[in-house]
Amino acid sequence: MISSSQQKIDQLLERRAAEIIEIENKYQELLKHEYLARSVELKRSPHFWKRVLRNHHTLSKLFTSEDWNILEFLDDLTLDEFSSRNKVKTYKLTFDFKTNPYFSNNTLWAAVNDDEVNYYCASGIQYKEGYNRDSFDEGDEEAKKDSFFRVFQGVQEQPSFWNEGGFVYEVLNGIRIDLWEDPVKFYDSPAEFTSNSSRLFA
């Protein structure tokens, strides 16, 4: 009797998990359309995403002075979320750039999942000939700081680079939790921001 009841419980839990994933995927598709519409609106404000990233209390610390120069050409930022039937979620971060003097592939992306065995892949960066990523003045503290853009390098780093708690995971998770659903709240500086802030679209 106990075994029979547990079997039914297991079946219901499995069905619930499948239906939750189905609902999540349904709303991800619905949200994708709205995120696209929002992207068009945000492009009316020059350097929107650069300003949002600079105003974020944690993410802003991950960028070097040279990174901020590169972000002058950032045209759009997107975060896609995918769910599989085994409940593993994959997050893909994409930076779209205007033509710039730094690299030739204007779309940079990185993806990571939340499985027990984390998976990481990225677009890589095709730096333009003559551009020296490490061209800082000798003795400059910035030269000792890793670039945010290593998120997109796609090289075979140690798993600690992208696993939970690692650099890539924390970047994507920070953007997913804090920025993606409502980036407008970071458009104003933190001191000026209020929950009713709508200055961007005024």
Nearest-angstrom CA–CA distance, 52 and 179: 8
The residue among 123 and 160 whose pLDDT is bigger is 123
Instruction: Supply φ then ψ for residue 46, to 5 degrees.
Output: -55, 135
* Structural domains of the chain ordered from first start: 2-201 (3.30.1120.90)
Following DSSP, what letter does each residue of 60-121 receive, concatenated?
Answer: GGG--HHHHHHGGGEEEEEEEEEE-TTS-EEEEEEEEE-S-SSBS--EEEEEEE-SSS--EE
Give the per-residue pLDDT at 72.
Answer: 96
User: Which residues are 110's β-sheet partners?
Assistant: 93, 122
- pLDDT tier for residue 159 given thresholds of 50, 70 and 90: low
Instruction: Supply φ then ψ for residue 115, to 5 degrees.
Output: -70, 165
The residue among 59 and 117 whose pLDDT is bigger is 59
CA distances from 112 to 92, 120, 133, 173 (A): 7, 5, 25, 10
Tokens 């040279």, residue?
66
Give the per-residue pLDDT at 40.
Answer: 93
pLDDT at 195 over 60: no
The residue among 133 and 37 whose pLDDT is bigger is 37
Which structure tokens are listed for 54?
């600079």
135-146 pLDDT per residue, tens? 444 444 555 568
Nearest-angstrom CA–CA distance, 66 and 170: 21
Give the per-residue pLDDT at 19.
Answer: 86
71-108 pLDDT per residue, tens? 999 999 999 887 766 667 788 999 999 999 999 999 99
